């Protein structure tokens, strides 16, 4: 449980063939691409990994593939959050058996939930599994926000080592950072645009979707920060604004995969029905990539 969660963790897309079946060779190639870029970890089965639409068999297959390809070079984070506590525990134990190093666990979703129920859910998980747990706060998808008061309590539970905040509310993330022990508990930004500001506030870094498109740029935010070159870190952070602006054209997962494909990496489509972008959207993404690549972004 001594693993320190920090740095740039790539929120990997799940590569697929045109028929939407898993593309095992490309999944492995993407692992290599991220490690070559210098990421501090790879994260499979998150939002960008389309965990919401994969079968359990496919999830197990992806974890095993990623763990084998990584071969201990960086920590492997696996998304195991389900709406129910029992199912979350069961899938988390499977992920542990598959060799995952860290669990990323989204808060229960769909049904309304209280903070006491969130507290009980994560506490039960921590008691049941022997892997570090990073909670995942994503109110836009779950319908609930993990309150700072709840995070303070959970940060003191053995085995819960951090939280990824994708809420986009910087004050909420700032309270997570200010009110927890930074030596024992890490707060990561799930919003690519806030990674540097997370670090400057005392956070641990970010779990990033844009790493699928520009892994070297995302890694450079953190590397320049730890070297003390804040000017370079800010330039890297600012450089992703144009591609982030493209997320307005549709499901961010779909935009991320389209941009990755257009950059020359055949990660395939998102699974239907989450796979449609207008011609104008694709044209805008192409133009953004052209400009960014001309600036040397990769």
Give the catalytic positions in this structure.
136, 164
β partners of residue 104 = 79, 134
Q: Of 33, 14, 10, 11, nearest to 270 (Cα)? A: 14
Cα gap 53→211, rounded to integer Å:
21
Query: What's the count of helices (H) and strands (E) in the chain, helices before strands?
Result: 13, 8
In whole angstroms, give the CA distance from residue 148 to residue 214.
32
Tell me the CA distances in angstroms from 149 to 172, 179, 248, one per residue in order: 11, 8, 32
Angle between helices 56-70 and 85-98 (to 10 degrees): 30
Instruction: List the structure tokens of 235.
Output: 């330039």
Cα 133 to Cα 57, 85, 102, 174, 221, distances in angstroms: 22, 14, 6, 20, 25
**Which residues make Cβ contacts (< 8 Å) with residue 228, sequence separation at least 6?**
none
Structural tokens at position 189: 């930004």
Please tell me the distance from the alpha carbon of residue 68 to that of residue 143, in angstroms, as a whole number: 35
């Amino acid at each position: 449980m001594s693993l320190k969660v920090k740095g740039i963790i790539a929120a990997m897309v799940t590569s697929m063939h045109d028929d939407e079946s898993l593309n095992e060779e490309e999944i492995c190639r993407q692992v290599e691409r991220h490690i070559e870029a210098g990421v501090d970890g790879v994260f499979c089965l998150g939002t960008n990994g389309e965990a919401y639409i994969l079968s359990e068999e496919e999830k197990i297959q992806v974890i095993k593939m990623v763990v084998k390809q990584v071969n201990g070079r960086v920590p492997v984070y696996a998304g195991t959050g389900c709406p129910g506590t029992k199912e979350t525990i069961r899938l988390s134990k499977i992920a542990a058996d598959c060799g995952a190093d860290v669990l990323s666990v989204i808060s229960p979703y769909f049904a309304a939930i209280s903070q006491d129920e969130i507290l009980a859910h994560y506490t039960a998980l921590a008691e049941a599994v022997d892997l570090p747990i990073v909670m995942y706060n994503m109110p836009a998808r779950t319908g609930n926000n993990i309150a700072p008061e709840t995070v303070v309590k959970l940060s003191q539970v053995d085995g819960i080592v951090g939280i990824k905040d994708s809420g986009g509310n910087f004050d909420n993330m700032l309270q997570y950072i200010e009110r927890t022990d930074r030596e024992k508990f890490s707060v990561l930004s799930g919003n690519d645009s806030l990674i540097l500001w997370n670090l400057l506030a005392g956070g641990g870094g970010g779990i990033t979707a844009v790493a699928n498109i520009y892994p070297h740029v995302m890694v450079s935010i953190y590397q320049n920060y730890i070297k003390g070159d804040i000017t370079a870190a800010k330039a890297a952070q600012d450089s992703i604004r144009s591609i982030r602006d493209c997320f307005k054209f549709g499901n961010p997962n779909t935009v991320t995969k389209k941009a990755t494909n257009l950059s020359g990496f055949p990660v395939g489509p998102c699974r239907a029905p989450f796979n449609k972008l207008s011609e104008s959207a694709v044209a805008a993404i192409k133009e953004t990539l052209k400009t960014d690549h001309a600036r040397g972004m990769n």
